[in-house]
């Protein structure tokens, strides 16, 4: 077989509409500059909208969010493509807050997307500030 006739096979990665059984709330996050004399910036959540999704728990995966910083991946969320979603988007799911670590456009077709997420604790707790 010559190289010109060889085709590269790839997985057909897609979701079905019937898989979207979980209702989530998406919020875009912006950081507000701290007041003079304070070192802590505050988070502002706006642009709230709802979407149907497929939420799956993940175990044993980590995401490197910088130099030697490991973040455990706890959820993968599949949904229809939405250009508003970015790594600054947060998800509310069943009373829990998920931080989006990575956004993947499946097959680069702008039809479906998978969000790699980590669960964050209560923002009022000092240990959850990361």
Residue-wise pLDDT tens digits, 23-78? 999 998 888 888 887 778 887 878 899 999 999 998 767 766 666 667 788 999 99
pLDDT for the residue 72: 84
Q: Nearest-CA neighbor of 24 among 59, 51, 42? A: 51
Compute the residue count for the chain: 130
Copy the structure tokens of residue 126. Answer: 């000092």
Q: Which residues contact 10 (CB under 8 A, 6 or more apart)?
A: none
Predicted TM-score (pTM) of this structure: 0.75
Is residue 120 a contact partner of residue 127, using CB atoms and an 8 Å limit? no
Burial class (CB in 10 A: 0-12, 13-18, 19+), 68: exposed
CATH code for 17-31+40-122?
2.40.10.270
């Amino acid at each position: 077989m010559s190289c010109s006739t060889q085709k590269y096979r790839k997985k057909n990665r897609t979701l079905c509409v019937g898989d979207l059984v979980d209702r989530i709330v998406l919020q875009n996050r912006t950081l507000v500059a701290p007041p003079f004399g304070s070192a802590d910036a505050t988070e502002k959540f706006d642009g709230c909208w709802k979407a149907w999704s497929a939420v799956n728990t993940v175990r044993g995966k980590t995401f490197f969010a910088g130099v030697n910083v490991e973040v455990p991946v706890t959820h993968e969320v599949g949904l229809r493509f939405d250009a508003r979603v970015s790594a600054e988007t947060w998800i509310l799911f069943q009373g829990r807050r998920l931080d989006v670590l990575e956004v993947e456009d499946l097959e680069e077709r702008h039809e479906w997307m998978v969000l790699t997420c980590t669960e964050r604790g209560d923002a009022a707790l000092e240990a959850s500030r990361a």
